[in-house]
Amino acid sequence: MGRRFDAAYVLEFLWRLLEYFQITMYIVAASFLLGMLVGFLVALPRLYRIPVLDRCSAVYVSFFRGTPILIQLFLIYFGLPEWAGRVGLNLDRVPALAFVILTYALNTGAFVSEAIRAGVGSVDRGQVEAAYSVGMSSYQAFTRIVLPQALAVSLPVLANLVIGGLKDSSLAFTVGVMEMTGRARTLGVATQHFIEAYIALSVIYYVVSLVLEHGFRLLEKRMLRYEPHLAGRGKRG
């Protein structure tokens, strides 16, 4: 089980892992932004009760919330090219990173759609009626009045999703993407100092989580500055 514990390695690994920090953050950011888009599109049919489509989006959400993300990752990374190959499409040249981001975006999308639904549900009906009464179209009322409020209300949930995405990004190494966790494994194998590598890695994840958490709390405070009764509704993490 490796060599004797040597604290000096922790410090050294810290720097060497940080070289891969941007890839991890790239995965987190890209999949969250794409996931917001997916989640928004998935939430719409259920918000407006569009027949058939609302059932599809309910099944989509249930599937992505009901299966482990690792299964989703393998289903998409191995399954999609296999299926594409059978119908005559060659996806061999597509980098693993693309599959990872696609999986995480689809996964995040399912959770985002639930957050948006809950957020929209929390906006007072009178807001929509007031928007109509001043002559807004239903599109305007939704994008200008309802959505901004819904987003502000669901910010804590979205913040949790970003932090969750950071933690899930550690699974990308399973399909061969070299991010921080993948790098920590190779450092561990090369030097036989596994525990030092994982201590360094944990420290990085922990600090990034804390920073994100703090940042989102400030953002939430700002977005809810006109609704003091909603601000500071407890902790999240």
Partner 1 sequence: MSFDLGFAFHALLLIASALPTTFMLTFVSTGCGLLIGIVVALVRLNNVRVVRHLAAFYVSFIRGTPVLMHLFLVYFGLPVLIDEVCSWFGAAGVSVRIPLVWFVLTAFSLTAGAYLSEVVRSGIAAVDRGQLEAAYAVGMTTSQAYRRIVLPQALAASLPNLANIVVGMLHGSTLAFTLTVVEIFGKTQLVAAQGWNYLESFAAAALLYWGLTVLIENIAAGLERRINRFAKGGVA
> Where does this chain bind partner 1 (CB under 8 A)?
1-2, 5, 62-63, 65-72, 74-75, 78-79, 82-83, 86-87, 163, 166-168, 170-171, 174, 181, 188, 194-195, 198-199, 201-202, 205-206, 209-210, 213, 237
Nearer to partner 1 by C-beta: 29 or 147?
29
Q: Which two tokens stand for residue 109?
A: 């999308």
What is the 8-class DSSP label of residue 144?
A: I
Nearer to partner 1 by C-beta: 215 or 237?
237
Give me the least distance between CB of 214 and partner 1, in Å please: 11
Nearer to partner 1 by C-beta: 20 or 142?
20
Question: Taking a C-beta distance cutoff of 8 angstroms, is the pair 206, 200 a contact?
Answer: no
Question: Taking a C-beta distance cutoff of 8 angstroms, is the pair 179, 27 a contact?
Answer: yes
Q: Which two tokens stand for residue 142?
A: 């939704």
Give me the least distance between CB of 107 and partner 1, in Å please: 11
Question: Which among 188, 237, 230 is positioned nearest to 210, based on CA atoms?
Answer: 237
Contacts of 122 (CB under 8 A, 6+ apart): 150, 153
Nearer to partner 1 by C-beta: 142 or 205?
205
Give me the least distance between CB of 57 and partner 1, in Å please: 16
R_g of the chain computed on alpha carbons: 21
